[in-house]
Amino acid sequence: MKIAVTGLNATDNPGPGVPVIRSIQMDKSIDAETIGLIYDSLEPGIYMENIHKKCYLIPYPSSGLEGLFNRLKEINEIEKIDIIIPTLDSELYAFIKLEPRLNELGIKLFLPTSEQLNIRSKDKLFNFCKANDIKVPKNITAGSVQDLYNIPSLGDYPVVVKGIFYEAYIVNNFEEAVAAFHKIAYKWGYPVIIQEFVKGSEYNVVALGDGNGTMTGAVAMKKLYITDKGKGWSGVTIHDPALISISEKVIAATKWKSGMELEFIRTADTGEYYLLEINPRFPAWVFLSPNAGQNLPAAMVHMIKGENVPPFTDYKTGVMFVRAAWDLISDVSTLEKISTLGNV
| Complete DSSP assignment for 273-305 | EEEEEEESS--TTTTHHHHTT--HHHHHHHHHT
Return the pLDDT at 78: 96
How many residues comprise the chain?
344
| CA gap 185, 167 in Å, rounded | 10
Q: In what order do the strands lie in the sheet with 192-196?
A: 139-142, 192-196, 159-162, 168-171
Structural domains of the chain sorted by starting position, each given as residue range(s) with its CATH number in brackets: 2-110+327-341 (3.40.50.20), 138-196 (3.30.1490.20), 199-322 (3.30.470.20)
Query: pLDDT by residue (tens digit) across 2-52?
Result: 999 999 987 777 889 999 999 999 999 999 999 999 999 999 999 998 999
Which SS3 state, helix, strand or coil, does residue 334 take? helix
Return the pLDDT at 27: 97
Positions in the chain whose pLDDT score sits under 50: none
| CA gap 126, 119 in Å, rounded | 10
| CA gap 316, 225 in Å, rounded | 20
Alpha-helical segments (H) within the chain: 17-26, 65-79, 89-104, 114-119, 125-131, 174-188, 241-254, 288-291, 296-304, 332-341
Instruction: From residue 26, give the alpha-carbon distance in Å to each of 30, 65, 103, 288.
Output: 9, 33, 27, 12
Return the pLDDT at 227: 76
Return the pLDDT at 287: 97
